[in-house]
Structure 1
Amino acid sequence: MTDVTAMTATQIAGLVATGAASAVEVTQAHLDRIAAVDGRVNAFLHVDTEGALAAARDIDARRAAGEELGPLAGVPVAVKDVLTTKGVPTTVGSKILEGWRPPYDSTIVQRLRAAGTVMLGKTNMDEFAMGSSTEYSAYGPSRNPWDTDRIPGGSGGGSAAALAAYEAPLAIGSDTGGSIRQPGAVTGTVGAKPTYGGTSRYGLVAFSSSLDTPGPCARTVLDAALLHAAIGGHDPRDSTSIPAPVPDVVAAAKLGATGDLSGVRLGIVTEFGGEGAEPGVTAAFNEAVDTLTKLGAEIVEISCPHFRYALPAYYLIAPSECSSNLARFDGVRFGLRTGDDGNRSLEEVMSLTREAGFGPEVKRRIMLGTYALSSGYYDAYYGQAQKVRTLITRDFTAAFERVDALISPTTPFVAFPLGARTSDPYQMYLADLFTIPSNLYGGPGISVPCGLSEGLPVGLQVMAPTMADDRMYRVAAALESAVGTLTPPTM
């Protein structure tokens, strides 16, 4: 059998559908690949071998019985460890939830199972999704398959690394400030953040409730669109879920793959031009813009004057919501419990548990958020940040009256060496400089490979209006049709 680990999800689904390969064979091939390379990559926190093979056998049995299955039936998928999985460990990359096995599946995981995908396991991440490099995982950093001495992005570096290392053809991530798109950019894969509310947060361990957005990760735009269609849509169990169907992202990706962008207007954000992107990143982006022009797109400059305040506003809003959400991890109801020797008060046990269970970045953001919400400072910090968020939303609204979508580099720089930025939080936070505005606005964004700089991948970001996710897929697929996909040299 041809090496299925090198195939796209669409190709694998076709093999399974025609009987050229069984779901069990496909799953075993990926499990073997994980066993062979994950010691160098550390993309997975837990590999569910028995569960994956059982799910694959079920798909094969249903196919043999003549049951009509979905377009991704039999395709393996890796799931970021921020989504609850019944009976399978969910740690969120933290010691405070080490060994916790949830009693229920998140909506995203339920929909993955319903679509007939085969869950391989849970992927590594920055603790509680707080980070841009996956170096803040309590279980060690993931590594970039392009250069294993470099970061794979964050917080969802495990999912992106699993794709780039050919350990899985599909993966799920979550994007609070760029945690799907930024890892996609630095690993040469595709990462899409849907419209906020377009995918369910039920069963997603919360970091920042007004920003968290689960979404698809893949090696091609069409694969990402197929996964998006499978997991998206209204969920009555999520109060922020949009009661509307998912735009036809699959049709949009197929239309874009024809390479025709005639009639499409794309805006380049003026304010991102002077933000210190590396010369190689700027050069790759400019080449991609020329390519989009040749495909028929009209390119215009668009000013979004308040985007320059997105980073500080985000680092007040997100930590404030994190401070509230993480209060539930008290050592009483679930997870780690430290210092309960019968001689300490509940408050002492809670303090010792949090001291032992939370890592340094999580503690830093809890303290930032608690301060921003404290009496006397709420209006000066959190309140002001929310006003900036409104101004950024207005910038997007005005921009989309002139253009169909906005484009930018996904990140200011390529994958940096492990350890290069951990001692300087501000430099780490800059990784999400171009992705954060979409989260504050709530609109969709996608990162698609657009070239190389210093032999490392560069991503181009497409940002679209809320509930116009199909637009970003069309543009991304068109660029992919001209540029092609990227293959890591080291794996």
Structure 2
Amino acid sequence: MDPLSRRTFTHLMGAAAVGSVLPGRLSAAPADELTSLTATELAARIRRKDVSAREVLEAHLARIGHVNPQVNAIVTLVPEMARTWAREADEKQARGEPLGVLHGLPVAHKDLVDTAGIRTTRGSKLYENNVPTTDALIVKRMRAAGAITLGKTNTPEFGAGSNTFNAVFGATRNGFNRDKTVGGSSGGAACALTCNLVPLADGSDTGGSLRNPGAWNNIVGFRPSPGRVPDDDGSWSPLSTSGPMGRTVEDVALFLSAIAGAHATDPSALTDDPAMFRAPLGTEMKGKRIAWFTTMGGIPFEPEITRVVNATRQAFVDMGCIVEEAEPDFTGVDEAFPTLRHLTYHNSYAKLSRDNPTLFKDTVKWEIAEAERQRAVDVAKANARQAQMYRHVSQFFTKYDAFVCPVTQVEPFDITVEYPTVVNGVRMPTYIDWMRSAWYVTFMQCPAISVPAGFSRGGLPVGLQIVGKPRGDWSLLQLAHAFEQATGHGKRRPAL
């Protein structure tokens, strides 16, 4: 990191006191078992009228008031709006009206996502006071399914990087060790889940932003197939997608059933009936063929990551799977993925950056500059490699049912470090190089899930990445659920 970047980052780390942006902070003691229930269990209790939506909301608001100041996961809280929606949810149920699959569940939205009447900063001082007038599509679908918005979760500036800090709210701290990062860019969402602040939270993923924080917070982050969860600004590019995060695979599947489905203005939107994700996940795993990673094309991993991940191999064998060492060909992805990634930042932020250069962090300006440096032939080659990769993995998955590898190359690093510059003795030239185990998988254009794999010797969570066949979201969720049930690693929560 150059001296200017280091000074800037150190300043941002102290830019906001933890929890200082929460209006009407509650002083209640930690909430009871309601906040520790899975979303699926909680939804069932509400539906049976064992508990009301208002009681569930108040339990989570109390938990937020007690715990959030320690971790800074939820950065904007709207308790009165949420109370109004919870009351309306209870009244709707009392009238016997049809209920959505997420009825009464408190949720929080990533601060990149527009929420009508609720501040959406994108982690940028440029948008510090931005209050959208409309909801993003994912928010509309969650609300239509009965979810109750209680606030927004922290994210890096414009979602760039896998350490959740920004100049508006400061950094989000890892509940398992508050000197460590939660990852990103859906870091606030993952932290809120593992700390039992909400039962569900949405996220988004280009280079690992659903999966990295999932791994480092001992929760489940699911990157669906491109087009599975459509977007307002529909694109042909398969790199970026929104997706569900939860504490269990079953919760993630339930959540996906509410946000997936056709959308007329998204050209890549898949049209399968999302209700399929509400079917029972349990199924026989005997005979499933698992391709186990070797080196992922030679990228470095910290020894603790490979130790913990490789220790889970026996679980697949015990489930009756056939496990073989094999992996896709990742040649050329190092050049192709960044080329296409740079374009997305340039399209979104080039003019804003030119007009407000002091309000953009160096890594975002680097993305924009790289986009302007590369040639049309570079983009054409990257697109060709992307098409070639899809053909390759389609053939790869005629032999295998899933590919298994680590989510991350490193353990959660110190919160004062912007990003790792060395991994197991190998220098990382840019701020995304240390995340290749995630964005190599992005380039495969397949669904991928991060599930808890255990803990390092230092007590930090490690995630297992399971990659499914193209558009094979359902069978991937079934395999991840079977692994989760066999190991139980995801039950451990931070001692806050």
The alpha carbon displacement at 1:242 in A equals: 2.3
Q: Is the 8 A contact 2:128 2:168 kept in 1?
A: no
Q: Is the 8 A contact 2:350 2:368 kept in 1?
A: no
Following the alignment from structure 1 to structure 2, what is the Cα–Cα distance between the partners of residues 478 and 302?
21
Correspondence 1:429 to 2:432: yes
Instruction: Summarize the Cα distance change of 1:410–1:136 in structure 2 as closer, same or farther, 3 Å threshold.
Output: same
The alpha carbon displacement at 1:55 in A equals: 1.2
Match of 2:282 in 1: 255
Following the alignment from structure 1 to structure 2, what is the Cα–Cα distance between the partners of residues 302 and 395?
13
Instruction: Normalising by structure 1, report the TM-score.
Output: 0.88
Following the alignment from structure 1 to structure 2, what is the Cα–Cα distance between the partners of residues 137 and 245?
41
Match 1:414 to one of 400, 406, 411: 411
The alpha carbon displacement at 1:135 in A equals: 3.1
Correspondence 1:391 to 2:388: yes
Following the alignment from structure 2 to structure 1, what is the Cα–Cα distance between the partners of residues 92 and 166?
41
Match 2:454 to one of 451, 456, 463: 451
The alpha carbon displacement at 1:308 in A equals: 4.6
User: One-letter code of the match for 2:472?
Assistant: A
Match of 2:492 in 1: 487
- Aligned pairs (5 A) from 1:48-67: 48-67=78-97
Following the alignment from structure 1 to structure 2, what is the Cα–Cα distance between the partners of residues 42 and 264?
41
Match 1:378 to one of 376, 379, 391: 376
Match of 2:302 in 1: 278
Match of 1:440 in 2: 443
Unpaired stretches in structure 1, ≥5 consecutive residues:
331-350
Report 1 or 2 for greater relative contact order, CA contacts < 8 Å, sequence distance ≥ 6.
1
The alpha carbon displacement at 1:63 in A equals: 0.9
Match of 2:6 in 1: none
Match of 1:369 in 2: 371
The alpha carbon displacement at 1:329 in A equals: 3.7
User: One-letter code of the match for 2:344?
Assistant: E
Match of 1:87 in 2: 117
Q: Which moved more, 1:467-476 or 1:432-441?
A: 432-441
Q: Which moved more, 1:391-400 or 1:161-170?
A: 391-400
Following the alignment from structure 1 to structure 2, what is the Cα–Cα distance between the partners of residues 126 and 417?
16
Q: Is the 8 A contact 1:90 1:97 kept in 2?
A: yes
Aligned CA RMSD, in angstroms, stands at 2.2
Instruction: Normalising by structure 2, report the TM-score.
Output: 0.87
User: One-letter code of the match for 1:326?
Assistant: Y
Q: Is the 8 A contact 1:83 1:203 kept in 2?
A: no
The alpha carbon displacement at 1:137 in A equals: 5.8
Deviations 1:338-376 (A, max 9, x none): xxxxxxxxxxxxx4x42133222211211111212xxxx
Q: Is the 8 A contact 1:304 1:395 kept in 2?
A: yes
Following the alignment from structure 1 to structure 2, what is the Cα–Cα distance between the partners of residues 323 and 202?
19
Q: Is the 8 A contact 1:302 1:399 kept in 2?
A: no
The alpha carbon displacement at 1:32 in A equals: 1.5
Q: Is the 8 A contact 1:107 1:203 kept in 2?
A: no
SS at match of 1:57: helix
Match 1:325 to one of 325, 339, 348: 348
Match of 1:179 in 2: 209
Following the alignment from structure 1 to structure 2, what is the Cα–Cα distance between the partners of residues 311 and 158?
28
Match 1:121 to one of 151, 156, 173: 151
Match of 1:199 in 2: 229
The alpha carbon displacement at 1:468 in A equals: 0.9
Deviations 1:122-148 (A, max 9, x none): 111111111011135643111111111
Correspondence 1:152 to 2:182: yes
Match of 1:474 in 2: 478
SS at match of 2:222: strand
Match of 2:10 in 1: none
Q: Is the 8 A contact 1:146 1:489 kept in 2?
A: yes
SS at match of 2:76: strand
Q: What percent of counterpart residues are identical? A: 34
For these two proteins, the number of residue pairs brought into alignment is 458
The alpha carbon displacement at 1:318 in A equals: 0.6
Q: Is the 8 A contact 2:125 2:167 kept in 1?
A: no
Following the alignment from structure 1 to structure 2, what is the Cα–Cα distance between the partners of residues 2 and 489?
15
Q: Is the 8 A contact 1:134 1:153 kept in 2?
A: yes
Unpaired stretches in structure 2, ≥5 consecutive residues:
1-30, 422-427
Deviations 1:91-145 (A, max 9, x none): 1111122211112111111110111011111111111111011135643111111
Q: Is the 8 A contact 2:107 2:150 kept in 1?
A: yes
Match 1:17 to one of 44, 47, 51: 47
